[in-house]
Structure 1
Amino acid sequence: MDFILIRYMFYILSKTLHFLLMPLLWVLVLLLLALFLKSPEKKRGCLVSAVALLLVLSNPFLANEAWRAWEVEATPVSDVDNYDAAIILSGVTSFREDIPDRVHTYKGADRFLHPLQLYRMDKVQKLIISGGHGLVLGEGIPESEQIEKVLLMAGVPEEDVITEVNSRNTHENAVNTKELLMQHPELKKLLLVTSAFHMRRAAGCFEKAGVATDHFSTDFYSYERRFTPDETIIPSADALHSWQRLIHEISGYIIYKILGYC
């Protein structure tokens, strides 16, 4: 019961932090202050700050530069060595009770599609999928089982897919995968696969847990530099939204560092 309570409190804290780290919220707060503050100087300062913040965060070029600085760069498939197993971190599927007859994926489906490519190229021999369901209370279908279903439909033999179904976060991914690997001592050379923006935190957690891995980034948000007007001058709502994801991940990395998870 205490464990469930702690998990629930952590969930509430993470959702609160997620809300407070929304760049759009910062802009709205500044605009509201500019509207209600009595001091003309403070009104002007809040208004100028809101406009400046909105211009910076909605600039696609600046957002892309931030992503390029944070994401762990791609490893060419041709440079990937042979591995006993690829460790795939979940977090890219969802279960819908109103449409239960299929697997629903997010943008990050590259997390399991790219390892599938490596498997087909005989560069990895086994696919380890780590991840439970995202519900705080109640039970759901583990994400690792949903990804396993897709891989089996893609023709991967059942004996080549190993699932870990209890993890709810990256720290637990690492700890639970280490316990799973103790049951498979033959799997020594491992390739960690996750989104490029998530790789720093994931790699740190697995290193902290004592699981030695090489890294294979997927699901990139950054792209090659472009100096066209739509990238350097014209504001973009997509850029504003991408900042929210990036800020959330950087904050998560810092919190994990403080907690000693990575």
Structure 2
Amino acid sequence: MTDLFFSLSKLFWIIVQPDHFLLLMLLLGLLLWRRVLGVILVWGSVLLMLLISAFPLGNYLLEPLEQRFPKTDLEQLEAPVAGIIVLGGGEDAERSVLSDQPQFNDAAERLMSAPALWKRYPQATLIFSGGSGSLLRPEYRGADVAKQWLDEQGIESRVLFDRDSRNTWQNALYTKELIREMEPAPEGKWLLVTSAFHMPRSMGLYRQAGIDVLPYPVDYRVSENRFSPNLNSNMADLNTAVREWIGLAAYYLTGKTAEWLPGPVDNREQP
């Protein structure tokens, strides 16, 4: 069932991803050009593309996600830290294999923050959770890239790796399994490290799994630019924002999270 959910979500995203959707609108409009609907679709796709190329619409969708969970103040944190959970997504697994060295994407801060956190809490357990998010290339896994990079930093031997999870839901499930297998069982809260825009969905899923997590968001995307004529950058941010909002809705509607937009509860995530 978990693999079916993953596959269906990937196929659905291929269609509704904003840049793909606009291309489909344009192609359908050209096929129906002699009809009113065709003209509307063509000009609608063109105007939307112009709007996206001029304004960073993704900023407006990402901002409420990034501000939902403030970063835990480690200086003021009194509760014991049982461990650190780092979610994958910043690794370019296929290029890492082809180049025989770790390669990363825009979410690299997720993994890059691990050494500093581990040095602050050297007795804490560090878990990296991330397999393959690719529908066509499942053999390339983010955990393998993370293991190689952390080995270069000298801390790979102190890390538990989940290389089987393929989405955030599986991240939470497989992390829970790793924690259950620990002897003795660690006591305290877990720092959850992921991109700021991804934190609400992640917190909701880890709460549902029964793991006591504190947010440690990284990889902020929102800028102050309200006019930014850059189609490539603006479209990338819009794709990211739309995917995240769809993910929040899908996980809520399928019962994987208790809230559509998880947020701090009774200041539990505050020190």
Normalised-by-shorter TM-score class: 0.7 to 0.9
Gaps in structure 1 of 5+ consecutive residues: none
Asked if the contact 1:74–1:218 (Cα under 8 Å) also holds between the matched residues in 2, the reply is no
Which residue number corresponds to residue 155 of structure 1? 154
Give the residue type in structure 1 aligned to 2:249.
I
Which residue number corresponds to residue 267 of structure 2? none
Which residue number corresponds to residue 183 of structure 1? 181
1:143 Cα deviation (Å)?
Answer: 2.6
Whole-angstrom distance in 2 between the partners of 1:62 and 1:238: 11
| Identity score, percent | 26
Q: Is the partner of 1:167 in helix, strand or coil? A: coil
Whole-angstrom distance in 1 between the partners of 2:20 and 2:213: 38
Q: Is the partner of 1:203 in helix, strand or coil? A: helix
Verify: 1:127 aligned to 2:123, yes or no. no
Which residue number corresponds to residue 11 of structure 2? 16
Which residue number corresponds to residue 105 of structure 1? 104
Whole-angstrom distance in 2 between the partners of 1:258 and 1:108: 27
1:23 Cα deviation (Å)?
Answer: 2.0
1:234 Cα deviation (Å)?
Answer: 3.2
1:105 Cα deviation (Å)?
Answer: 2.0
**TM-score, L = length of structure 1:** 0.80
Asked if the contact 1:80–1:123 (Cα under 8 Å) also holds between the matched residues in 2, the reply is no
Whole-angstrom distance in 1 between the partners of 2:124 and 2:33: 63
**TM-score, L = length of structure 2:** 0.77
For each residue in 1:91-119, what CA deviation from the matched residue of structure 2 results, as whole angstroms up to 9, or x when unmatched? 22204486263222222111111132222
For each residue in 1:29-55, what CA deviation from the matched residue of structure 2 results, as whole angstroms up to 9, or x when unmatched? 44445543434x545543443343223
Verify: 1:64 aligned to 2:59, yes or no. yes
1:178 Cα deviation (Å)?
Answer: 1.3
Asked if the contact 1:86–1:124 (Cα under 8 Å) also holds between the matched residues in 2, the reply is no
Which residue number corresponds to residue 115 of structure 2? 116
Which residue number corresponds to residue 248 of structure 1? 243
Which residue number corresponds to residue 88 of structure 2? 90
Q: Is the partner of 2:249 in helix, strand or coil? A: helix
Whole-angstrom distance in 2 between the partners of 1:26 and 1:141: 27
Whole-angstrom distance in 2 between the partners of 1:50 and 1:135: 28
Which residue number corresponds to residue 71 of structure 2? 75
Verify: 1:46 aligned to 2:45, yes or no. no
Aligned CA distance change for structure 1 residues 117 and 65 (closer, same or farther; 3 Å):
same
Which residue number corresponds to residue 194 of structure 2? 194
Q: Is the partner of 1:85 in helix, strand or coil? A: strand
For each residue in 1:97-155, what CA deviation from the matched residue of structure 2 results, as whole angstroms up to 9, or x when unmatched? 86263222222111111132222234873311112344668973643243133222212
Give the stretch that moved more between structures: 236-245 or 115-124: 115-124
1:12 Cα deviation (Å)?
Answer: 4.1
Whole-angstrom distance in 1 between the partners of 2:40 and 2:60: 27
Aligned CA distance change for structure 1 residues 112 and 45 (closer, same or farther; 3 Å):
same
Gaps in structure 2 of 5+ consecutive residues: 258-271
Aligned CA distance change for structure 1 residues 189 and 97 (closer, same or farther; 3 Å):
closer
Q: CA RMSD in A?
A: 3.0
1:247 Cα deviation (Å)?
Answer: 0.9
Q: How many residues align?
A: 250
Which residue number corresponds to residue 142 of structure 2? 143
Which residue number corresponds to residue 25 of structure 1? 20
Q: Is the partner of 1:84 in helix, strand or coil? A: strand
Aligned CA distance change for structure 1 residues 99 and 179 (closer, same or farther; 3 Å):
same
Whole-angstrom distance in 1 between the partners of 2:134 and 2:38: 43
Which residue number corresponds to residue 260 of structure 2? none
Q: Is the partner of 1:193 in helix, strand or coil? A: strand
For each residue in 1:198-219, what CA deviation from the matched residue of structure 2 results, as whole angstroms up to 9, or x when unmatched? 2111111111111110001111
Aligned CA distance change for structure 1 residues 37 and 88 (closer, same or farther; 3 Å):
same
Give the stretch that moved more between structures: 76-85 or 232-241: 76-85
